[in-house]
Chains A and B, each alone.
Chain A
Amino acid sequence: MSILVLAEHHDGVLADATAHVVAAAQQIGGEIDVLVAGENVAAIAEAAARPDGVSRVRVADNAAYAHLLAEPTAALLAELAGDYSHVLAAASTTGKNVLPRLAALQDVSQLSEIIAVESADTFKRPIYAGNAIATVQSEDALKVITVRATAFDAVGEGGSASVEAVDFVADNAQSRFVEEQLAESDRPELGSAKVVISGGRGMGSGENFQLLEGIADKLGAAIGASRAAVDAGFVPNDMQVGQTGKIVAPDLYLAVGISGAIQHLAGMKDSKVIVAINKDEEAPIFQVADYGLVADLFEVLPELEQKL
């Protein structure tokens, strides 16, 4: 068996998620290759050679793969897929965009967002917003799989895989990158932060999210939000935690002014320790919180910042 992992990278940096996907690949077993596709990705290829367990890095460095648009990237993966029994990517917006397209090109099913490897053909994945866990077995010759990064511990970095160029260039006349508007943040990435503090509709306004910033700075935390806070326009949507936003599983998750709708819980209920601060003691968030504080967040947050 041999496994191809599509490397995730942003702004010239290999994303943490890649080492988590390699961990899932190790559990499947077999030779592990990592594909780095993009434009000017030599440094990323070097970084992709370091995670433990990687035997070979294949590099497709070409303008055709800039921004990893779905059409050329899926065509590239389809070109390489014949060498592999499994193709894996993180269940990020990139992986979700590209892998189903690859699967259909190869006439195989795709398994989305696996959280456990039972064997080389059997996997666990959440369905119904994480309210049920399905065990599924694929009989396809090629298994195309996206991996929930937070469900697998990242592998270490002691490897020194060989790096080889891939010459195939996909032609793409159908889609063109126009622009990207990325939210700027000095804080850790939401998906991989050890501590996350999230605000909900109870925050009342976008300005009030500043109350979370001092606490986030002290804890080295990323700041998240519920869908209600995003829909109310308090914060941009890439901060959303939930079924339709990001799935997080930090050591500590602080939910502030969040009621705890099913949609939100789907994105954070695998956190190790959950703290809820809410003035409504009947809020469903208290049913999953390890520590609950029934109080007005406007009184509690400044006090918490001061005492940390």
Chain B
Amino acid sequence: MKILVAVKRVIDYNVKIRVKPDHSDVDLTNVKMAMNPFCEIAVEEAVRLKEKGVASEVVAVTVGPKAAQEQLRTALALGADRAIHVETEERVESLAAAKALAKVVESEQPGLTILGKQAIDSDNNQVGQMLAALTGLPQGTFASEVVIENDKAQVTREIDGGLQTVELTLPAIVTTDLRLNEPRYAKLPDIMKAKKKPLAVTTPAELGVEIQSRVTLLKVESPAERQGGIKVGSVDELVEKLKNEAKVIA
């Protein structure tokens, strides 16, 4: 079985972001970029399935700017066999990304496609579900465990209130939650080897997909700052303040 794994280049999760002074967007110039943390978990799961002999090949794919090839090389260093770059410098909405990925799923015919549950920049949590709809495949979102058996995937999902297990017929789409696994680090020799692995470049136009935005970003603002608080010296003072000043306890 072939596994397709989608990755996204995003701002590094440790970076404190800045809003541009003209409020047009977040300022990404000279900011450290990295693979989206949920995508790292997706790559790790695909590689583990290959190590267990469930998968025969792992293909990494991204939709995004030329610089995103860095993240594809990272995926290759972590154990993916080859990579596909759908290159566009335009802002790609979830639906357009899902349409491009659907074309790749159509041509590659993977048994399983794994994505992160959300990207930490747009916080949308949409692409995996949309890809499942467009390809007509079942979806296992927010996965904390994936077991492949007899052409089926048992996916344990993190839901509000606990865990839910669903069984999906393959091929299927799975999105990863944080506790699915702990991603490995790329080793130097693997990073060197990854430079020689195949990386095919295509464009949305070649795939027959239009990258059009139907959602306009009108404005980006910083959230309201909280007023600086005070330090109290004792439990008595804390309880007194909560009762009489903040009036949040009786």
A residues neighboring B (CB under 8 Å): 10, 67, 69-71, 74, 92-94, 96-105, 107-113, 122, 126-140, 173-183, 191, 195, 219, 227, 230-231, 236-238, 243-244, 246, 251-252, 262-263, 269, 272-275, 281, 286-294, 300, 303-304, 307-308
Complex contact B168–A111 (CB within 8 A): no
Among A104, A108, A135, A138, the residue within 8 A (CB) of B219 is: A135
Q: Which residues of B contact A289 (CB under 8 A)?
A: 229
Q: Which residues of A contact B130 (CB under 8 A)?
A: 100-101, 103-104, 110
Which residues of chain A are near B249, meaning CB under 8 Å?
Answer: 195, 219, 252, 308
Of all chain A residues, the one with the shortest Cβ separation from B124 is A112
Tell me, in angstroms, the Cα distance from A69 to B172 when the chains sit together: 14
Encoded as 1 (CB less than 8 Å from any A CB) or 0, chain B from 146 to 182 comes to: 0000000010011111111111110010000111000
A292 touches B169 (CB 8 A): no
* Chain A residues whose CB sits within 8 angstroms of the CB of B205 once the complex forms: none
Number of interface residues of B (CB under 8 A): 77
Q: A131-B17, A136-B218 given. 8 additional CB < 8 A pairs?
A: A70-B138, A104-B131, A135-B219, A176-B168, A181-B162, A238-B161, A269-B226, A290-B246
**B71 proximal to A (CB < 8 A):** no
A238: contacting residue among B98, B137, B160, CB under 8 A: B160
Q: Known contacts being A136-B215, A290-B246, is A93 close to B160, with CB within 8 Å? A: yes
Cα–Cα, bound, A176→B172 (Å) = 13
Q: Say yes or no: B223 contacts A101, CB within 8 Å.
A: no
**B230, A243: Cβ atoms closer than 8 Å:** no
Who on chain B is nearest to A299 by CB? B235
B200 is an interface residue with CB less than 8 A from chain A: no
Interface centre among A69, A174, A288 (most CB of B within 10 A): A174
Q: Kindly state whether residue B214 has any CB partner on chain A within 8 Å.
A: yes
B132 contacts A by Cβ under 8 Å: yes
Considering the complex, give the chain B residue whose CB is closest to the CB of A180.
B164
A71 to B161, CA, bound (A): 21
* Bound form: Cα–Cα A289–B138 in Å: 44
Cross-chain contact of A139 among B216, B219, B242 (Cβ < 8 A): B216
In the complex, which residue of chain B has the Cβ closest to the Cβ of A122?
B218
B123 touches A127 (CB 8 A): yes
A113, A231, A251: which contacts B248 (Cβ < 8 A)? A251
Residue interface bits B38-72, CB-to-A below 8 A is 1, else 0: 00000000000000000000000000000000000
Interface membership of B192, Cβ < 8 A: no
- For A136, list chain B residues within 8 Å (CB): 215-218
B22: interface (CB < 8 Å): no
The answer to whether B123 touches A178, judged by C-beta atoms less than 8 angstroms apart, is no
**Shortest CB–CB separation between residue B233 and chain A, in angstroms?**
8
CA distance A95 to B227 in the complex (A): 33
The residues of B that contact A274 with a CB separation of less than 8 Å are 226, 229
Contacts of B234 in A (CB 8 A): 293
Contact with A along B86-105 (1 / 0, CB 8 A): 00000001110010000000
- Give the residue name and chain of the B residue nearest to A302 (CB): B235
Q: Chain A residues with Cβ under 8 A from B26's Cβ?
A: 127-128, 132
Interchain CB contact under 8 A, A273 and B248: yes
Inter-chain contact A67/B123, CB cutoff 8 Å: no
Q: Which residues of the other chain, B, contact A294 by a CB distance below 8 angstroms? A: 231
Identify which of B144, B172, B223 gathers the most chain A CB atoms within 10 Å of its CB: B223
- Distance, CA A248 to CA B41, complexed state (A): 26
- Which residue of the partner chain A has the closest CB to B235? A303
Q: Does B193 contact A (CB under 8 A)?
A: no
